[in-house]
Amino acid sequence: MRDTILLLVSSLLFVHLLFYLLPGVFGTWNSGSIDQLYRLRYKYFPTRIPYDSTIIVVNETDSTLQTLASPYLSRRHYGQVVRNLRDLGVALQMWDYIFSAPMNAEDDSILMASNTSAGNVYYGMGFALKDKPSIMRRPRPASTWEYLSKTKWHVHVEGDMSMMYAAENPNTIFPAFASSARGLGSIALQFDQDGVYRRAPLLLRYEDGFYPSFAFRAICDFLQVSPENIIVHPGKNLTLKGAHRPNSQPHDIVIPIDERCNIIVNFVGPWDRIVNYDLATIYRASDDRDAMEYTMKPEFQGKLVVVADASTGATDIHPVPTDNNYPLSGLHANVLHTILTENFLRELNTWEMIVVEILLLACVALFALKLSSRGLWVGALLLITGFIVTAIAAFLFGNLIFNIVQPVMITVAAVFGVLVYRFINEEREKEATRRSFESYLPSSVVKRQLAHPESIFEVQKKELTIMFTDIKSFTTYSSTMTPDQIQKFLAEYFDAMVQIVFKYEGTVDKYIGDGLMVFFGAPEPQSDHAVRCVKAAIEMQKKCRELKEKWIREGLFPLKIRIGINTGDVVVGNMGTQKKLAYTVLGSDVNLANRLESNAPVEGIMISRRTYDFIQGQVPTLPHDPILVKGLDTPIEVYTVPVDEEVPPAA
């Protein structure tokens, strides 16, 4: 269990390290998976985020120029649009344009007069977004400094604001024009590492003040929230104290934000879900006052209108979660919509995700403890599926965003690690078992048994045939031999005997001094185990006679052995302690085989009646007088097997 926990913790740390070192790869995968949730919601659950038609977008497109028969639109045209929107009764106009310098004096004056007359027109201003303020800054005109000093916000910040964007290089509209507008807001946005826009900063730090984003500047006025009633908790939330739409009760709006004061934009869907009008339609609305008053005004009155350039060649078209090509004026509109509907998304923070990951790893640990390797894979697959379904449900019904890829990778890494660990351990155990078994089983049997090791490790009672052998007078002869001679002698003898046992697929139980204990019928079932055993015994006696002649020629003692064989019910399996196990047989019929060996003729084979019953008609036998063995009160019927008779070869 300790090793499993170490593997799980290692998986957690390893995947976190990957995300830290390669955020552009793995972070992008996660962001892409979240983007699919936006598309899933729009396609199958559009009612989860109903569109508030208070938001309208007016676009300057290629068809605008064609309709107005003009190669470009001047500020005179824009002034007419501002006046018409005023007459349509819109609550505010957000012009996603930066008029940084004067052009035609007459056209400029028309547009400024329209701004002043409407009293609800907002324009964008540019900033460069930095992580920290630069030491060296670009000089700015005195007029810009004067405007920024006059319009900066002072909000109440509770917490560390060092991670908020530091704004630099302001690009405002020229002073006279700025004075005609209701206000300016930053249109600076920052895309994620994969180039997709998913967030928008609500406030920027500049010098000793704060400056609102384009959408935030307008929505605060619409909700009648002054800067003094804004409370910022970086990394947690931003509160609009006493916010209220026209004709509604005041209440606090709490907006989840990250440490940079970004709001996650809750896109309502693709671009065509937002109510869109062509700018030419608004420009020409005043041509028909009746239609303007009775048809268009009910559609526009009290609405928040975003005006932007979406024509071919416009640079503000980028990918967002719901579209690959999306005018960023739509992003400002979606920020308005998110705040206005209070339909906020919240991303689980790092610590919350770690809790989720630990819960997943706890499930993996439980599976690893209770399930087989195949069950672990199935359990992990179900666990990952359950997590993904939970993440989808949390997004659709709880507006919560889970990091999806990282926990899945951690779970997969943990399961893979556990399985590899199991495989290595199993292979080690198989190798140890193979080496152990090859000393008392033929290699062909070992291979088959390792493929299905259950029969080896299962202790069971079954009928087997057991053989004991012993060298006559070995103790006497060995007293005259050196240890090296004894070792060499026994090695040659046992090697010859074991080869014959393995030939008939018997199992070597143990070496008992100069004796050998063998059984047939396990671990692999053998219906002819008695026949195999007796045939092996005959061949062993013949081999011993060959060795006897060889050793006599070499001046060694004459090798003669006795063999006893019995067939009966025994207990077979791995016996011993956890540190040392042996595959062996136990029972009274094992003892009887040993007693038969003691009573067998030298260079002969003695078998029990039960063994005789199995081999009758297949191997020649000779009757023998009943014998009395230790542990039994009555003589038992035994037989001998002639060694020199022709025996059918091994199957």
Cis peptide before 523 (omega within 30 of 0): yes
pLDDT for 444 equals 57
Residues 545-573 have a mean pLDDT of 93
Residue 281 has pLDDT above 90, yes or no: yes
Residue 259 has pLDDT above 50, yes or no: yes
CA distances from 518 to 465, 494, 564, 566, 612 (A): 9, 12, 10, 11, 18
Residues 617-639 have a mean pLDDT of 92
d(CA 345, CA 398): 8
Per-residue model confidence as pLDDT tens digits over 209-250? 999 999 999 999 999 999 999 999 999 999 999 999 988 899
**pLDDT > 90 in the chain, percent:** 70
- φ and ψ at 527, to 5 degrees? -65, -25
Residue 98 has pLDDT above 90, yes or no: no
Residue 207 has pLDDT above 80, yes or no: yes
For residue 209, give the amino acid letter. G
d(CA 281, CA 311): 15
Query: What's the token pair of residue 252?
Result: 């606090």
d(CA 321, CA 340): 20
Read off the pLDDT band of 650 (50, 70, 90): very low
Mean of the per-residue pLDDT values of the chain: 90
Q: Is 625 exposed, middle or buried (0-12, 13-18, 19+ CB in 10 A)?
A: exposed
Residue 455 has pLDDT above 60, yes or no: no
Among 378-382, 452-456, 468-472, where is mean pLDDT lowest? Answer: 452-456
Q: Are 237 and 355 in contact (CB under 8 A)?
A: no
Per-residue model confidence as pLDDT tens digits over 307-334? 999 887 777 889 999 999 999 899 999 9
Per-residue model confidence as pLDDT tens digits over 358-376? 999 999 999 998 998 899 9
d(CA 637, CA 455): 33
Beta strands at 92-95 and 304-309: parallel, antiparallel or unpaired: parallel
Residue 139 has pLDDT above 90, yes or no: no
d(CA 232, CA 495): 86
List residues bridging with 465 in a β-sheet: 520, 567
d(CA 524, CA 446): 10
List residues bridging with 121 in a β-sheet: 93
pLDDT for 315 equals 72
Q: Are 86 and 120 in contact (CB under 8 A)?
A: yes
207 backbone φψ class: left, alpha, beta (φ>0; ψ -120 to 50): left
CB-based contacts of 492-496 (< 8 A; 24+ apart in sequence): 492/547, 493/544, 493/547, 493/559, 496/543, 496/544, 496/547
Q: Are 171 and 141 in contact (CB under 8 A)?
A: no
Read off the pLDDT band of 651 (50, 70, 90): very low
Per-residue model confidence as pLDDT tens digits over 39-87? 999 999 988 899 999 999 999 998 999 999 988 899 999 999 999 999 9
d(CA 563, CA 617): 21
Whole-structure pTM value: 0.72
Instruction: Give all domains of the chain, ordered by start, each with its CATH number.
Output: 1-44+346-437 (no CATH), 50-342 (no CATH), 451-640 (3.30.70.1230)
d(CA 352, CA 347): 10
Per-residue model confidence as pLDDT tens digits over 606-616? 999 999 999 99
pLDDT for 436 equals 62
Q: Is 370 exposed, middle or buried (0-12, 13-18, 19+ CB in 10 A)?
A: exposed
- φ and ψ at 154, to 5 degrees? -120, 105
Query: What's the token pair of residue 172?
Result: 């405002």
Q: Are 274 and 27 in contact (CB under 8 A)?
A: no
